[in-house]
Structures are given as C-alpha cells and as structure tokens.
Amino acid sequence: MSNKIMGFPAQVLSPVKKFLTKQEKRIIKRKKALSKEDPFADVARVSDNAALDTDVSEQVGHARVTAMKKQLDRQLIQIRKALTRMKLGKYAICEKCHKMINTDRLVVRPETTTCISCEKKKRS
C-alpha cells in the first residue's frame, strides 16, 4: 500500500480554478483602480504648495491606498500559490504537514494552502 495522497479530479477542480482565476483578475483590476486613487499619483501634487490640512489628507489617503494594495498583494499571492498547486497536482494538500485540507475549509477559502491545524500553529 502506498501512503500517497490522491488529489481531486480535474472535473472537480475546474470550477475552483475558474473561480480563483476570476478572483485573480478582479484583484489586479482593483489594484489598478487603487493606484489611480492614490493622491501621490497626481503629478501636480509635487508643485502644489497645499495647505497643511490638504497635505495631511494626501498622506492619509496614500497610507490607506498602500495598506489596501498590500492586502490585495497577499491575496494575490495566495491565489497564485493555489493555482500553481493545482497545476502540480498538490491542491488541497497542506504545504506544511502534507495532509489533505478539509473540504469545508476549501469551500470557505479555496485559495488556502494550509490545513486548519497548521494555520493555528502559525498564528500562535
């Protein structure tokens, strides 16, 4: 007997792959939109001698956009890791302990690459 863990068949993974690919495109589009919202993207800002309150508003706006883009980057990395693991036949297998990830967890977070036990260890 082999201890090899079997992955999901392609017909089961196909809708998940479509969903993750759609999410990836949505995130990329959102990041582009955020870049346009960034007050620091306005080239006229450099030569503008704005009032102190305007400058603070720009700083806060930039910080907000930067934080949101970092969060989107983290999501994008997870999605791309999951898609890569699908190609390698390792989707739904925990990247830490190599056990199957619970399907309930995958339904909630299809981009996850770790099981709940390993995720709890990571957070504690």
Q: From the first residue on, what is the mean pLDDT of each consecutive set of 10 residues in the chain (124 residues)?
A: 60 92 97 89 62 73 92 97 93 93 94 94 82
Return the pLDDT at 54. 66
Looking at residue 15, its amino acid is: P
Return the pLDDT at 77. 97
Q: What is the pTM of this model?
A: 0.79
Q: How many residues does the chain have?
A: 124
SS3 at position 73: helix
Phi-psi region of 115 (alpha: psi -120 to 50; beta: other; left: phi over 0): beta
Return the pLDDT at 1. 40
